[in-house]
Structure 1
């Protein structure tokens, strides 16, 4: 190395592939969507004071041979791998300004399988909602729809529309907060958690509260009640619907009291909304820092395993969305002490 050349920072040198990366894991593919996810993940790793692992995955194409010998042929993967390595190196360089430990790897294999395996030990998986096809695939295609549904840790999808807010400075955030208080429809320093009374939603709610504390944000707990449909369409309205709202409000208030007991210093507010859960949360995603959902619920909010509601929110959200898998949490044990629990589950 010449006298005028700078020494590389050892934190940013390529490292051996961790068998079980911890902290925040982000998938990159060189697309703009991947770059947005990378910046969000780096900021989150710094907030959590946890390492960041950057990974790209590729598959070697296999095609039917056209010669007389028939059979199948494969492409030499050296060029493909070199391209993936270049993407990872660029990603590492992009996050050099953050005070975090960074590791990276290039994996040969199915991108879904790679990240799902890493979710066994990671605290958080982050990825964009659309990529080149090699990593996050089509808009919420095979990879980005599989991850929220099956990952063992929370996942965050970051749409390209977030690029403007990710470029903000601390002063920008301060001005934005002041403008929001004055009634401007800008991004508020708020985390929104969608709940439906299920235990899965309560697990997501706890994660949302922890995330709000990391962001220095307030937490807004939202329960949306859709119009009657199907077998319930015959139910008289509006009297029964008002009674339904009253019952749900009592349960929501009890849940809020429980949550405040575990997060006494967090500003928490609740909203009971009349409308489609997908529409309510998609609209909220335009104006808040993060929307948090569970992987499944009663059918009113997150439905089946990444069912119609959570899938709809992920497809159309205008901001980052976190999906939290079902898991045990000791804090759930005292929920019933604070009032009625929907369905007595």
Structure 2
């Protein structure tokens, strides 16, 4: 691995750049996040030259390297113009984007990716690299979504499935404090998923609703205890589509925090259904907290 300067320190914000407009926007967003956190920004360009070496000429490899380093320099300059006091490090990696970002983040970094890469065909859809990073990450990942130039909503939104999402709520609380925003915990449960196709169970919907609200209340109480100066709202809703409710709620948030859990029943690394929908369609940046659901519980 080649690097222009030394690598990131613990807690750094890591952002992948590939020359696309979404990646450039992600770098600027990541810089602002690094400033909020009081940490460094680490720019990574995974050129994947090692895997190409057997198939392309030496001249082509050298051109890729030169272009990658110029891209790093240009992005660092753009970031520094907006945040002159921010420490920015750069890394040109011979590996592909996904392993390069994971290695740079190590155990403590937060990875930031744009909502679409150079190979994307639709600005609404997350690119393949971003999707792989989100699915395989063992550290937090932020997918930068939402319209450019939108005003601050001063709200951090956390999707709460059950008590096991307390870590997500804690991350949300920290982000809300950094932004001096309020924290909204939102629990959405799918009526059909809860009662199945057994019509007689419809009589017990109120009881099921009470169980869901108790899970939300338990998380909210703990967060209020740990963040006493934070304005915390807790809402529960039922819907036929959990992702649809969360997408709508994301229109009024600066950041959506949710678990990047694996979906039960699938082999290999993947995202759950609701998580997958949100990284593609949310109206604000999405912060994924990695968690493997070993008990194979549903997402919502």
TM-score normalized by structure 2? 0.84
Alignment partner, residue 56 of structure 1: 45
Alignment partner, residue 228 of structure 1: 192
Alignment partner, residue 45 of structure 1: 34
Give the C-alpha shift of residue 209 in structure 1: 0.8
**Equivalent in 295, 304, 328 of residue 260 of structure 2:** 295
**Equivalent in 102, 121, 125 of residue 111 of structure 2:** 125
**Equivalent in 6, 13, 35 of residue 24 of structure 1:** 13
Give the C-alpha shift of residue 249 in structure 1: 1.6
Give the C-alpha shift of residue 227 in structure 1: 2.6
RMSD, matched Cα: 2.8
**Equivalent in 298, 305, 312 of residue 277 of structure 2:** 312
Alignment partner, residue 264 of structure 1: 228
**Equivalent in 40, 54, 57 of residue 75 of structure 1:** 57
Alignment partner, residue 182 of structure 1: none
Give the C-alpha shift of residue 297 in structure 1: 7.7
The answer to whether the Cα contact below 8 Å between 1:196 and 1:298 also exists between their aligned partners in 2 is no
**Structure 1, unaligned stretches of length 5 or more?**
1-13, 64-71, 166-175, 177-186, 328-341
Give the C-alpha shift of residue 21 in structure 1: 6.8
Q: Distance in 1 between matches of 2:22 and 2:142?
A: 13
Q: Distance in 2 between matches of 1:298 and 1:28?
A: 28
**Equivalent in 136, 140, 146 of residue 126 of structure 2:** 140
Paired residues for 1:1-345 under 5 Å: 15-18=4-7, 22-60=11-49, 62=52, 73-76=55-58, 77-96=61-80, 97-98=82-83, 99-133=85-119, 139-159=125-145, 161-165=146-150, 188-199=153-164, 201-229=165-193, 232-236=196-200, 238-275=202-239, 276-296=241-261, 305-326=270-291
The answer to whether the Cα contact below 8 Å between 2:4 and 2:92 also exists between their aligned partners in 1 is no
Larger Rg: 1
Q: 1:138 to 1:109 in 2, by over 3 A?
A: farther
Give the C-alpha shift of residue 213 in structure 1: 0.6
Q: Distance in 1 between matches of 2:56 and 2:163?
A: 49
The answer to whether the Cα contact below 8 Å between 2:263 and 2:273 also exists between their aligned partners in 1 is no
Q: Distance in 2 between matches of 1:118 and 1:124?
A: 10
The answer to whether the Cα contact below 8 Å between 2:125 and 2:281 also exists between their aligned partners in 1 is no
Give the C-alpha shift of residue 130 in structure 1: 0.4
**Structure 2, unaligned stretches of length 5 or more?**
none
The answer to whether the Cα contact below 8 Å between 2:256 and 2:287 also exists between their aligned partners in 1 is yes
Q: 1:15 to 1:74 in 2, by over 3 A?
A: closer
**3-state SS of the aligned residue for 2:143?**
strand
Q: 1:283 to 1:149 in 2, by over 3 A?
A: same
**3-state SS of the aligned residue for 1:273?**
strand
Q: Distance in 1 between matches of 2:95 and 2:215?
A: 46
For residues 268-290 of structure 1, what are the alpha-carbon distances to aligned partners after superposition, in whole Å with 9 as ceiling and x for unaligned?
A: 00110111221111112222100
Q: 1:298 to 1:113 in 2, by over 3 A?
A: closer
Q: Distance in 2 between matches of 1:278 and 1:50?
A: 33
The answer to whether the Cα contact below 8 Å between 1:190 and 1:220 also exists between their aligned partners in 2 is yes
Q: 1:324 to 1:230 in 2, by over 3 A?
A: closer
The answer to whether the Cα contact below 8 Å between 1:119 and 1:152 also exists between their aligned partners in 2 is no
The answer to whether the Cα contact below 8 Å between 1:196 and 1:297 also exists between their aligned partners in 2 is no
